[in-house]
Amino acid sequence: MADRKITVLNPSGYQELFQSGDNLLLSGTIQMNSNLITDLPNCVNDNDVARKKYVDDSVSAIVSGAPSALDTLNELAAAIADDSNYATTITTALGLKSPIASPTFTGTVTGPTINASTALQIGGVAITSTSAELNILDGVTATTAELNILDGVTSTTAELNYVDGVTSNIQTQIDTKAPLASPTFTGTITVAAMDGEIDCGVYAS
């Protein structure tokens, strides 16, 4: 088909509409005012004209039901504090955290009051002492070596209670007591009233 040309005269000059094969070519611009171009096909090529519905559908597919506070690029950027290295920042921050399972801490560990729903354990052994019993240790100033003296002690609670109230060296207290067999006293000896006889064992030298 031969090329055809339509020349239209307007106040600013001439506009020409060319038919070249199956294509119509326009020199100048088209002013549609309130008129519309309808029935355009979907975009296929890079330079195709896009219909409003095609653009709306494409944007909707990108948003894909995102909440209104996160449906723009600016809102997404604000949500990550405009950090262009967000992934690196998060990875570094996670590297400074301890795992929940079997954490290993360094330095001084500080925490709130523990309200345990299950028995606390030391070395896999449950602690059954009461708060009052543990508070007995409050103020203990013994050294590690002194505490290690107790290592291996197999005394029962009843046996340990024999020393309840002892506030000084036990041997020192024992040394101030007289033996039952052949005791030797000093100072004034006072004997309570007695029935029967008593052999005072007083002999002249």
Nearest of 22, 26, 21, 23 to residue 6 by alpha carbon? 26
| pLDDT tens-digit series, residues 139-190 | 888 888 888 887 888 888 888 887 777 666 777 878 888 888 888 888 888 8
Mean pLDDT of 118-132: 81
pLDDT of residue 1: 47
Q: What is the DSSP string of 113-145?
A: ----SS--EETTEE----HHHHHTTTT----HH
pLDDT of residue 32: 67
**Residues paired with 14 in a beta bridge:** 9
Bigger pLDDT: 200 vs 33? 33
**Residues paired with 71 in a beta bridge:** none
Q: What is the pTM of this model?
A: 0.38
